Structure 1
Amino acid sequence: MGWFGRNHMPVEGRTILLTGGSEGTGLSAARIFSSRGANIIIVSRNPAKLEEAVKSIKAAAKSPEMQRFHTIVADVAEPNYAEGVVNNATAWNDGYPPEIVWCLAGLSTPMLWTDDGALQASRYNMDVNYFGTAEMSRAIMRAWLLPGQEKKQPSTRGSRPAAKHIVFTGTVLSVFSMAGHGTYAPSKFALRALADALAMEVRLYPDVPIEVHFILPNSITTAGYERENETKPEITLQLEGAETPQDPDTVARLSIAGVEKGRYFVTTSFIGDLMRWGAMGNSPRNNWFVDTLMGCILPFIMAFVTWDMNSQVSRWGNKRISEESRK
């Protein structure tokens, strides 16, 4: 962690649960954790993908003879799924709840708000992206906070229990939305609000230290990104410009590095930093001086960015009206 920092999330010998761990960033993160000596539980609704994923996670293990691996089939969009997953994971883990939970399962279905099916898509995005993570965060916190649970935890530093970690996966669209993402961004805005609330609420439990983190990646080159582009409106592609999606391994590596530094907001690119500086609100700061300074500067930058984006939308709308009138 460098000369002046410490690792806020050591993983060797600890148990980590990842939803959406059978592919994409979840699978990449699971491999990294495995290579550092963690026990891994991955959750997905596809049994075949789980079995293939766990093979590659085992292959990356630091100590194959000591580490353990487990898969759980579950659909995060199903109401009340999380308690069963946590109970399953706890039973497998010798009665201890996983000490680190990273919620990565998600999807995006970009559409214009007036398109047929937009409201249905929005509801499903909310079920997967918001409620899927919200249920898991509640279930694991309740498991951690059971009376006497902190005294039974095997991972401690001295007399103080090692911190538990809940990692939320947002997006730069958690703090900055645009045309075409009305079906998707609200689910991530809501997730950011929940994470902000929990980052404050965990202070109620000083005997069970819990750290909350919120990841703000850009687009990621996964199968989900390919599906996303199938419904993405032309204007949304235009507004996103020449953004270069990041690969899952890079996002996983940068995200883990940010969590290890103890950051609340974890970005994987400079554009992510720009977005969070422009929408800090009462969220915890990574660096009070830098974040406050940039929070003062960003409104001036965003005034021009927003003007340009609104102008693009207006021109695109007028162009579409003109084309439809000629049909």
Structure 2
Amino acid sequence: MPQLPSLSSLYELSTPTLGISVFVCTVIIAYTIAKMFGFGRKNEFPVEGRVVVITGGSDGMGRAVATNLAGRGAHVVVVARTVSKLQSTVEDMRRAAMNSLKQRFFYISADLTDPAECDRVIAEVTGWNYGAGPDIVWCCAGFCHPGFFTEVPISVQRQQMDTVYWTAANTAHSTLRNWLAPVPPSAQMQNPRRHLIFTCSTLAFTPIAGYGPYSPAKAAIRSLSDTLSQEIEMYNGAFTQRHRNSAPAADVKIHTIFPMGILSGGFDNEQKLKPELTKMLEEADKPQTPEEVAQISLAALERGEYLITTMFVGNVMKGTALGPSPRNAPIGDTILSWLSNLVFLQVIPDLRNKAFNWGKTNGLPNAGGFEDETPEATTPPS
């Protein structure tokens, strides 16, 4: 996952804008505290005894999510390509398990850019789960190949769309076809609802120079999530009314996580390819550990949130781009949106000016011309 976009300009604002920023901070912190310490809140994301599938579960954030869920009593299936990493993750989950005698763990090696492989994964999980589909599916697969749009071959940009967007879309399609098939009333579940979770990036809210191959794929995930959040209500309505032979087995809720920089092997590889301008725009940013991102995300899911950020600045970035997306809290998110857009009146021109001045000082990023292919980009990380 990429590092948090620069936004260092938040620390260099004029006095009036700084005052607005302080006010934004105060409002959001108060809102966050109110959300965190509400009394009598129901856990909207119970996982003990439930079956969870995590794609991209052998490394980074996916692996951290898997071990955290094991510690909360879930049965977990991790999916990735490299068997040795998957086996290591299963051992980590067994060590972290709440009850190692009752909990079950499983891994599946698959290439999720192939929709047939996603169908196979869901079918294997259903068989492993005694004929029932999984309760929760969390899409974490993907990697980032940074670079300027004209500098990165189209073949690599297609690969980014495949490994970022299509792994998530293929998994969601296979999952929802399993979950939403009509069943007779006797087969409808009494358990808590099912959850489909996408992993996106704050770059879907605020694109940054140097992420041209990657940001569009993340923006596509955010758009898919918003679309599904509407479509799913048709099926949820049918489930609520228990229409004879035309209702799914359970209702479903969609969520999307928007991390920033995550410290991992993938992040290290990304840094080797990242343009110097992009590094400069990100110099004030502080990447999080996979464990931090997993814990913050799980806490937000337990609160029932839809669009989930993992840092304060990410929340401000979300506020500028809420548009028609469902709100976690209508009043709080609306206020956040107003104030965030005031802050970004300065941030966006600042980012553009820094890119302009970089060009004035350093010239073209590739004065020798364009290359047809870059060896580093031909093979995604396992």
Normalized against structure 1, the TM-score is what? 0.94
Measured in 2, the distance between the counterparts of 1:139 and 1:49 equals: 24
Counterpart position of 1:119: 154
Measured in 2, the distance between the counterparts of 1:221 and 1:34 equals: 21
Counterpart position of 2:62: 26
Letter in 2 for 1:63: N
**After the TM superposition, which segments of 4 or more aligned residues of structure 1 sit over 3 Å from their partners?**
149-154, 322-325
- Give the 3 Å change call, closer, same or farther, for CA 316–72 of structure 1 in structure 2: same
**Which of residues 31, 36, 47 in structure 2 aligns to 1:11?**
47
Measured in 2, the distance between the counterparts of 1:295 and 1:61 equals: 40
Say whether the 8 Å CA contact 1:111–1:118 is kept in structure 2: no
Matched, 1:268 2:310: yes
**Which of residues 309, 316, 321 in structure 1 aligns to 2:358?**
316
- Give the 3 Å change call, closer, same or farther, for CA 191–219 of structure 1 in structure 2: same
Matched, 1:91 2:127: yes
Which range is displaced more, 247-256 or 205-214? 205-214
How do 1:223-238 and structure 2 match up within 5 A?
223-238=265-280
Matched, 1:302 2:351: no
Letter in 2 for 1:313: A
* Paired residues, number: 319
**Which of residues 186, 193, 212 in structure 2 aligns to 1:182?**
212
Counterpart position of 2:299: 257
Measured in 2, the distance between the counterparts of 1:170 and 1:99 equals: 21
Measured in 1, the distance between the counterparts of 2:113 and 2:219 equals: 18
Q: Cα distance, 1:164 vs. partner? A: 0.4
Say whether the 8 Å CA contact 2:46–2:192 is kept in structure 1: no
Q: Cα distance, 1:270 vs. partner? A: 0.5
Say whether the 8 Å CA contact 2:319–2:341 is kept in structure 1: no
How do 1:1-327 and structure 2 match up within 5 A?
3-115=39-151, 117-148=152-183, 151-152=186-187, 156=190, 161-206=191-236, 207=239, 208-321=250-363
Q: Cα distance, 1:322 vs. partner? A: 8.5
Measured in 2, the distance between the counterparts of 1:82 and 1:324 equals: 39
Higher RCO structure, 1 or 2 (CA under 8 Å, sep 6+): 2
Q: Cα distance, 1:323 vs. partner? A: 10
Which range is displaced more, 13-22 or 287-296? 287-296
- Give the 3 Å change call, closer, same or farther, for CA 267–145 of structure 1 in structure 2: same
SS of 1:213's equivalent in the other structure is: strand
Q: Cα distance, 1:151 vs. partner? A: 4.5
Measured in 1, the distance between the counterparts of 2:226 and 2:365 equals: 45
Identity of aligned residues (%): 35
Q: Cα distance, 1:153 vs. partner? A: 6.0
- Give the 3 Å change call, closer, same or farther, for CA 279–73 of structure 1 in structure 2: same
Q: Alignment RMSD, CA only?
A: 1.7
- Give the 3 Å change call, closer, same or farther, for CA 150–49 of structure 1 in structure 2: farther
Normalized against structure 2, the TM-score is what? 0.80
Which range is displaced more, 292-301 or 64-73? 292-301
Which range is displaced more, 201-210 or 164-173? 201-210
SS of 2:45's equivalent in the other structure is: coil
Say whether the 8 Å CA contact 1:144–1:150 is kept in structure 2: no
Say whether the 8 Å CA contact 1:27–1:53 is kept in structure 2: yes
Unaligned runs of 5+ in 2: 1-35, 240-249, 368-382
Measured in 1, the distance between the counterparts of 2:231 and 2:291 equals: 32
Measured in 2, the distance between the counterparts of 1:323 and 1:72 equals: 42
Measured in 1, the distance between the counterparts of 2:48 and 2:365 equals: 60
Q: Cα distance, 1:111 vs. partner? A: 0.4
Letter in 2 for 1:193: S
Q: Cα distance, 1:79 vs. partner? A: 4.0
Q: Cα distance, 1:318 vs. partner? A: 1.0
Measured in 2, the distance between the counterparts of 1:323 and 1:121 equals: 18
Letter in 1 for 2:116: N
